């Protein structure tokens, strides 16, 4: 007779008992019925509660010990994810309910990381669509839902944060249904079940005002409505690499759903990528239990598994049976819309603060990232020290820069620029669907800003609280640097969301920057006296005692055009100079730019120097005389 541990539900215990036997080599391998598996993705707009809901599901499935300390948003394992409160990388876990294993994939909500969502949809069979009980479907909800519907997945709509005082569930359900219809959902897909939740407390129910004190209604709906994987348990081995992991001891870890057959430890397989094939051997096979990977002797079709020992495998590659190879179609993702150049640091401070400073290390790191992220493109340029990197948006590229900075890399990047396309012999550019919610007092400033950036209004609605909701189509290049101006114009009260809206004919020149830079004209250490004189000409980015070099941008000029300033200037000594007179000078606090702000600020002739310790804006051409000659010659330096 088995005694059920207090920390396990009956379903979780069955799976736990199976895994323990499997790990000891006593379980009969491959005997997990695919009908007892559910592979689901949780999709939503940013900050609608995906990761919080996964936390609650894990806790109620008794994945953690009773006395185990568990961090909030446990699936956000990346430091940047925790700091920014967003999901950047797709991650998978599993729970067990009533003997059914539920593999859960937590996906990013921001459209810049849409490549993560697009490839995850290949290994799931259904989705939980989270919508906020007040905001309802947002622009990026449309993006992630489209990916699911195009692949024929069924959806359960989860109206989260139902405890908010101004919740409006009827409105949210109606607008969500309209969204399904607009995206071309089938009748079966549009007939979605609805569950209401408070993910923070782990409560759910089928009625908004009658929540139970658990997620039992949600679990039951998953088993009832979302299908088991459609696989061929008796066919040849077939798996597509969908996610990648890395372990210091095991090396690269390939994650994907086993679509056909079984796969065993030490099994010989065939790796197919494009037109090339090569034989490999699987070292280890893992399945997921909670947040852990459990090594097993064999895995069967339908489960999401992890493999080691396969070496250089790329996203979208197929692992199959050498005797009966069946390649899968490659994963297709939308093309990148922005690009920047990465190069080795060429400033006078080069090599002071970084661990990895050579072009070889920089190139190696960028190409490794392109293997992990299918939405990223990396290519060499004519210069051996410079590389072209294309991504989905400023946030996508900014996260890469920040991750590399924290890993010890030192480099410089250029201003982001859009990628133009030639369609029917005409030049086209990417455009964004921009949705803005702003109070009436700021609407004039916002409309003017968008008009300057070639924005075209599509819709305008008056909200219940008196604010105004605008929908615009704006060229992507018009939005570079727009967020800061928007927040300034709305005193930080406006809401801004964007979504890629396709390509349209080139809209002409756009003037997005109406100011120049304050540029240091000599190297040294900034003094209060020098900064006091410079701050009258604009807004400073640095404070006293900051080391600067010639050509470094130290502030924003109040007018168009750059201005060279001497921030290292010291007051001349005289017999009438009182001790401590420099200390009496009043300096305004410098404007502290984030990495995202600095990327938005850059002009065409500026670079961003990035090191593990700091980042600095600088001119491409540092000496003042050479910059002037360059400008006089119309951009040619002879």
Residue 582 has a pLDDT of 53
DSSP 308-348: ES--S--TT-EEE-SSS--PPPPPP-PPP-EEEEEEE--ST
Alpha carbon distance 450, 443 (integer Å): 11
DSSP 579-591: TTTGGGS--PPP-
3-state DSSP assignment of residue 62: coil
pLDDT band at 267 (very low <50, low <70, confident <90, very high): very high
Kindly list the distances between the CA atom of residue 3 and the CA atoms of 10, 66, 340, 561, in Å, as whole numbers in the listed order.
11, 17, 60, 78
pLDDT at residue 574 above 70? Answer: no
Query: Cα 322 vs. chain centroid, distance in angstroms?
Result: 36
pLDDT band at 236 (very low <50, low <70, confident <90, very high): very high
pLDDT at residue 636 above 60? Answer: no
pLDDT band at 395 (very low <50, low <70, confident <90, very high): confident
Q: Which fold has domain 421-505?
A: Alpha-Beta Plaits (3.30.70)
E strands, 450-605, in order:
456-462, 468-475, 495-505, 517-520, 524-525, 538-540, 547-548, 553-557, 563-565
Residues in a beta bridge with 386? 343
Kindly list the distances between the CA atom of residue 338 and the CA atoms of 14, 377, 389, in Å, as whole numbers in the listed order.
49, 10, 9
**Virtual CA dihedral for 148, 150, 155, 159, nearest 10 degrees?**
60
pLDDT band at 66 (very low <50, low <70, confident <90, very high): very low
Q: Is 592 annotated as a binding residue?
A: no
pLDDT band at 116 (very low <50, low <70, confident <90, very high): low
Q: Is 106 annotated as a binding residue?
A: no
Q: Which residue has the higher pLDDT, 65 or 626?
A: 626
| Biggest distance spanned by C-alpha atoms of the chain | 98
Kindly list the distances between the CA atom of residue 387 and the CA atoms of 55, 357, 502, 527, in Å, as whole numbers in the listed order.
40, 14, 26, 37
3-state DSSP assignment of residue 104: strand
Burial (CB count within 10 angstroms: exposed 0-12, middle 13-18, buried 19+), residue 414: buried
Among residues 37, 65, 192, the alpha carbon closest in space to that of 130 is found at 192
3-state DSSP assignment of residue 614: coil
Q: Is 141 annotated as a binding residue?
A: no
In the chain, CATH 3.40.50.300 sits at 32-225
Q: Is 160 annotated as a binding residue?
A: yes
Q: Is 575 annotated as a binding residue?
A: no
Burial (CB count within 10 angstroms: exposed 0-12, middle 13-18, buried 19+), residue 573: exposed
In the chain, CATH 2.40.50.250 sits at 517-632
pLDDT at residue 586 above 90? Answer: no
In the chain, CATH 3.30.70.240 sits at 421-505
Q: Is 49 annotated as a binding residue?
A: yes
Q: Is 48 annotated as a binding residue?
A: yes
Burial (CB count within 10 angstroms: exposed 0-12, middle 13-18, buried 19+), residue 229: buried
Report the chain's C-alpha Rg in angstroms.
28
Q: CATH number for the 338-418 domain, one of 3.30.70.1400, 3.20.20.150, 3.30.70.870, 3.60.15.10?
A: 3.30.70.870
Alpha carbon distance 446, 131 (integer Å): 27
E strands, 403-540, in order:
411-414, 417-418, 421-423, 426-438, 456-462, 468-475, 495-505, 517-520, 524-525, 538-540
Overall CATH class of domain 517-632: mainly beta
| Of 79-83, 93-97, 453-457, the least confident | 79-83
Please report which residue ranges of 331-442 form alpha helices under DSSP H. Answer: 359-372, 394-406
Q: Is 212 annotated as a binding residue?
A: no
Q: Is 465 annotated as a binding residue?
A: no
pLDDT band at 54 (very low <50, low <70, confident <90, very high): confident
pLDDT at residue 6 above 60? Answer: no
pLDDT 10s digits, 537-564: 999 999 999 999 999 999 999 988 899 9
Buried-state track 167-191, b at ≥16 Cβ within 10 A, e below 16: bbbeebbeebbebbeebebeeebbe
pLDDT 10s digits, 465-506: 778 889 999 999 888 878 878 888 888 888 887 878 889 999
Alpha carbon distance 542, 565 (integer Å): 13
In the chain, CATH 2.40.30.10 sits at 238-320
Among residues 614, 608, 618, 599, the alpha carbon closest in space to that of 555 is found at 618
Query: How confident is the model over 252-276, as a mean pLDDT?
Result: 89
pLDDT at residue 188 above 70? Answer: yes
DSSP 6-49: TT--HHHHHHHHHHHHHHHT-S-TT---GGGEEEEEEEESTTSS
In the chain, CATH 3.30.70.870 sits at 338-418
- Answer yes or no: are the C-beta atoms of 337 and 476 closer than 8 Å: yes
Maximum mean pLDDT: which of 11-15, 104-108, 209-213, 308-312: 209-213
Residue 456 has a pLDDT of 92
**Cβ contacts of residue 289 below 8 Å, gap of 6+?**
15, 16, 19, 63, 94
Alpha carbon distance 126, 147 (integer Å): 11
Alpha carbon distance 222, 534 (integer Å): 63
Quick one: 238-320 is in which CATH superfamily?
Answer: Translation factors (2.40.30.10)
CATH number of 32-225: 3.40.50.300
- Answer yes or no: are the C-beta atoms of 110 and 139 closer than 8 Å: no
According to DSSP, residue 349 is labeled: T
For the chain, percent of residues with pLDDT exceeding 90 = 40
Q: Which residue has the higher pLDDT, 394 or 181?
A: 181
Residues in a beta bridge with 205? 196
pLDDT 10s digits, 361-379: 999 999 988 877 777 899 9
Q: Is 163 annotated as a binding residue?
A: yes
């Amino acid at each position: 007779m088995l005694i059920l541990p207090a920390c396990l539900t009956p379903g979780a215990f069955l799976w736990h008992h199976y895994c323990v036997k499997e790990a000891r080599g006593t379980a009969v391998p491959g005997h997990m019925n695919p009908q007892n598996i559910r592979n689901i993705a949780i999709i939503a707009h940013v900050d609608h509660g995906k990761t919080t809901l996964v936390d609650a599901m894990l806790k109620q499935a008794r994945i953690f010990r009773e006395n185990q300390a568990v961090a909030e948003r446990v699936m956000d394992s990346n430091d940047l994810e925790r700091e920014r409160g967003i999901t950047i990388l797709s991650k998978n876990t599993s729970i067990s309910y009533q003997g059914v294993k539920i593999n859960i994939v937590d996906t990013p909500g921001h459209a810049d990381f849409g490549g993560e969502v697009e490839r995850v949809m290949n290994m799931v069979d259904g989705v939980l669509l989270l919508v906020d009980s007040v905001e309802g479907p947002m622009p990026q909800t449309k993006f992630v839902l489209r990916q699911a519907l195009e692949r024929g997945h069924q959806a359960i709509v989860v109206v989260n944060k139902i405890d908010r005082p101004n919740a409006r569930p009827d409105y949210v359900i109606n607008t969500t249904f309209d969204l399904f219809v607009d995206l071309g959902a089938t009748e079966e897909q549009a007939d979605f079940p609805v569950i209401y939740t408070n993910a923070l407390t782990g409560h759910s129910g089928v009625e908004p005002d009658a929540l139970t004190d658990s997620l039992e209604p949600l679990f039951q709906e998953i088993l009832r409505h979302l299908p088991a994987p459609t696989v061929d348990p008796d066919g040849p081995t077939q798996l597509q690499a969908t996610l990648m992991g890395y372990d210091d001891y095991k090396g690269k870890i390939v994650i994907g759903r086993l679509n056909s057959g079984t796969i065993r430890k030490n099994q010989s397989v065939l790796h197919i990528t494009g037109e090339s094939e090569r034989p490999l051997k699987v070292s280890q096979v893992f399945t997921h239990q909670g947040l852990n990977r459990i090594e097993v002797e064999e895995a069967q079709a339908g489960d999401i598994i992890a493999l080691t020992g396969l070496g250089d495998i790329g996203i979208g590659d197929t692992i199959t049976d050498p005797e009966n190879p069946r390649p899968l179609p490659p994963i297709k993702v939308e093309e990148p819309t922005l690009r920047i150049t990465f190069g080795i640091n060429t400033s006078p401070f080069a090599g002071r603060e970084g661990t990895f400073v050579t072009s070889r290390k920089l190139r190696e790191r960028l190409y490794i990232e392109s293997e992990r992220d299918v939405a990223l493109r990396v290519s060499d340029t004519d210069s051996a020290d410079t590389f072209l990197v294309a991504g989905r948006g400023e946030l996508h590229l900014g996260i890469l820069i920040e991750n590399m900075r924290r890993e010890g890399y030192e480099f410089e990047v250029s201003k982001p620029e859009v990628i133009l396309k030639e369609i029917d012999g005409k030049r086209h550019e990417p455009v964004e669907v921009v949705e803005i919610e702003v109070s009436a007092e700021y609407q004039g400033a916002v409309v003017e800003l968008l008009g300057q950036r070639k924005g075209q209004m599509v819709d305008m609605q008056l909200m219940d609280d008196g604010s105004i909701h605008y929908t615009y189509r704006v060229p992507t290049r018009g939005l570079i640097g727009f967020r800061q101006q928007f927040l300034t114009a709305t005193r930080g009260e406006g809401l801004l969301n964007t979504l890629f809206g396709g390509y349209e004919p080139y809209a002409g020149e756009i003037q997005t920057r109406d100011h120049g830079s304050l540029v240091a004209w000599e190297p040294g250490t900034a003094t209060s006296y020098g900064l006091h004189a410079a701050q009258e000409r604009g807004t400073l980015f640095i404070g006293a005692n900051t080391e600067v070099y010639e050509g470094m941008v130290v502030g924003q000029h109040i007018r168009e055009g750059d201005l060279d300033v001497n921030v290292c200037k010291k007051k001349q000594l005289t017999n009438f100079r009182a001790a401590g007179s420099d200390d009496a000078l009043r300096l305004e606090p410098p404007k502290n730019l984030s990495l995202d702000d600095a990327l938005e600020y850059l002009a065409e002739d500026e670079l961003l120097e990035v090191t593990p310790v700091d980042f600095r804006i600088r001119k491409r051409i540092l000496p003042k005389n050479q910059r002037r000659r360059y400008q006089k010659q119309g951009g040619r330096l002879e």
